[in-house]
Amino acid sequence: MSNAFESLAKIQADLNALGAASALMDWDQQTYMPAGGAEARAVQSSILSRMRHEIATSDAMERAIREAEEAAESEEELALVRIHRRSFDKATKLTPQFVEEKSRLTSEGHEVWVKARRGNDFGLFRPVLEKLVEMAREEAEQYGIDDHVYTTLLDLYEEGATKADCDRMFDAIRGPLVDLVAEIRDCGRQPDNGFLFGDWPIEPQRAFTERIAGAVGFDFDRGRQDTAPHPFCTGWSVGDIRLTTRFERYLGSAIFGTLHEAGHGMYEQGSPKNWDRTPLAGGVSLGIHESQSRTWENLVGRSRGFWTRFLPDLQQAFPSLASVGLDDFVRAVNRVEPSLIRVEADELTYNLHIMIRYELECDLLTGALAVADLPEAWNEKYRSYLGIVPESDSNGCLQDVHWSMGALGYFPTYSMGNLLSVQFWTTMTQEIGDPEAGFAEGRFEPVFEWLREKIYSVGSLKTPRDLVLSVTGRPMGAEDYLAHMSAKYRGLYGLA
């Protein structure tokens, strides 16, 4: 690194330390903090955020970025200044009054949303949501709308992605997924999954989930797993990545939750060590991150090969499963059933939940849909895409936390992750062959090594779009995903 990068590196180190402290406090809050800590923690967190914001938007920071931009030569240096420039521009576009007002409205909004969902009272949340939608429009205007208000908001989570990308994605999957889900629902061959529900003891679940996370490649010398009501993955160094899971009546919650978060975790652990504590380390976007969690959760974790290896271990840990055969088990963990709640949705119906939110967000932001008409519009879309209608708004348009936090434009990254997981997988199998036969013998390194080389080790060096292009040779598309879903589920359900 040249001298011009030294002052940038110093400021970056401060930002990183403050960010690490915030992330650690957040991790603690969601895992171990007693309820009595909430009030003090909220104050402490907001002070750390303010300090970070002050440094990130300082004159010194701007000067350091400008000097580094002039001196940047290597690919790493160019990427570093690109990332810093993007963060600086985003952080300085919003007026301080707006940031304060948004923070006030979202913390109030979250509280009202919790009450409204608990009491099934959309009317209570409606005025807040009206303000939040208005505020999202205002936010997009302050960032600057070059393309569409939705593109501006989406770009906060997925650099370079546009509303047109989302439209193309959902236009491609809408018809085929709705039809396939309906065919499965009507075929009358729903597998039994009752044996996966029970009062499972916690210790064997902890041991089993840690064993499979370690087997697929999560490094427990550089990470650990704890429990949280809403599982997540976080970290503050390539040497310290934290997974969380939860233990529920459905045994799959812990198993697939762990594999999902371990997928996020391996991506974070896989950045080059010399990038640690710089913006080059870690996953590049929400969509690419989700592609990595879905790979291990669905493409590996729900495969026959995986369970050929691990069903005997699971049966040893939970003797009531001793009589379940491999085929029945694999069908049970791949059961497709239209349901109302996104976070509990199966692999196939999941994208339909996302598509509904995307369509509604677009209409809310453009004013085509009034907030007052949201419950009816929500229910109509569930009827038309999934063939079911929520019996309450709590299980309908009030179920997700995102809108109460003012996060509009976030949802499509989940679907992008699903599509990209299969697009990467398809490229991988073309290059190294189908790895599934090796799973039965516990061999996951071919997949891990391929992902490490092509994706993990690239960290945030390339933009999401460039990464997809360089790995698969084409932009994100739906063909691989649709072909995979059709073949997999037609096979499992014996459809023609």
Catalytic residue among 77, 139, 159, 261: 261
Q: Angle, nearest 10°, between helix axes 122-143 and 75-93? A: 120
Per-residue contact flags (x/-) with Zn ion for residues 236 to 275, judged by CB under 5 A? ----------------------------------------
Choosing from 293, 334, 427, 463, the residue that interacts with Zn ion (CB under 5 A) is: 293
User: By CB under 5 A, which span of 74-82, 251-259, 290-298, 473-481 interacts with Zn ion?
Assistant: 290-298
Distance CA 411, CA 91 (A): 22
Whichever of 193 and 295 has its CB closer to Zn ion, that residue is: 295
To the query of whether residue 261 is one of the catalytic residues in this protein, the response is: yes
CB nearer to Zn ion: pick between 193 and 421: 421
Distance in angstroms (rounded) separating the CA atoms of residues 131 and 341: 25
Taking the least distance from each CB to Zn ion, the nearer of 378 and 456 is 456
Min dist. Cβ of residue 260 to Zn ion (A): 6
Q: How far is the CB of 261 from Zn ion (least distance, A)?
A: 7
Question: Shortest approach of Zn ion to residue 297 CB, angstroms?
Answer: 8
Residue 216 tokens read as 């697929």
DSSP class of residue 418 equals H
Q: Which of residues 390-449 bind Zn ion (CB under 5 A)?
A: none
Which one of 55-63, 203-211, 287-295, 439-447 is the stretch in contact with Zn ion (CB under 5 A)?
A: 287-295
For the bound state, the minimum distance from the C-beta of residue 243 to Zn ion, rounded and expressed in Å, comes to: 11
The smaller minimum CB distance to Zn ion, of residues 293 and 472, is found at 293
Residue type at 78 in one-letter notation: L
Q: Which is nearer to Zn ion, 258 or 293 (CB)?
A: 293
Residue type, 183: E
Burial class from Cβ neighbours inside 10 Å (0-12, 13-18, 19+) for residue 224 reads middle
Residue nearest to Zn ion (CB): 293
Q: Examine residue 234 and tell whether it contacts Zn ion (CB under 5 A).
A: no
Alpha helices in 94-121 (DSSP H): 96-118
* CB 448 to Zn ion: min, Å: 18
As measured in angstroms, the least distance from the Cβ of 417 to Zn ion is: 7
Tell me the closest approach of the beta carbon of residue 68 to Zn ion, in angstroms: 32
Q: What is the 3-state secondary structure (H, E, C) of 182-240?
A: HHHHHCCCCCCCHHHECCCCHHHHHHHHHHHHHHHCCCHHHEEEEECCCCCEEEEECCE
Helix 75-93, helix 38-56: angle, nearest 10: 120
Query: Whose structure tokens read 């994605």?
Result: 169
> Is the CB of 140 or the CB of 355 nearer to Zn ion?
355
**How many whole angstroms separate alpha carbon 44 and alpha carbon 38?**
10
CB 83 within 8 A of CB 76: no
Q: Which is nearer to Zn ion, 212 or 371 (CB)?
A: 212
In this complex, which beta carbon is closest to Zn ion, that of residue 404 or of residue 413?
A: 413
Toward Zn ion, which CB reaches closer, 265 or 435?
A: 265
| CB distance 277 to 237 below 8 Å | yes
Stretch that binds Zn ion, among 96-104, 210-218, 275-283, 292-300 (CB under 5 A): 292-300
Interface stretch with Zn ion, choices 38-46, 236-244, 286-294, 450-458 (CB under 5 A): 286-294
Contact 314, 195 (CB under 8 A): no
Whole-number minimum distance, CB 129 to Zn ion, in Å?
Answer: 25
Q: How far apart are CA 126 and CA 446, in angstroms?
A: 50
CA 366 to chain centre: 26
Using CB under 5 A, count the residues that bind Zn ion: 1
- Kindly indicate which of the ranges 34-42, 289-297, 388-396, 446-454 contains the residues binding Zn ion, using the contact rule CB under 5 A: 289-297
In the complex, minimum distance from the CB of residue 379 to Zn ion, in angstroms, rounded to a whole number:
27
Strand partners, 241: 223, 235
Say which residue the tokens 């704890």 belong to. Answer: 226
Q: How far apart are CA 455 and CA 295, in angstroms?
A: 12
Cα separation, 165 vs 152, in Å, equals 13
- Return the biggest CA–CA distance within the chain: 69
As a whole number of angstroms, the distance between CA 306 and CA 265 comes to 19
The residue ranges that bind Zn ion (CB under 5 A) are 293
- Catalytically annotated residues: 261
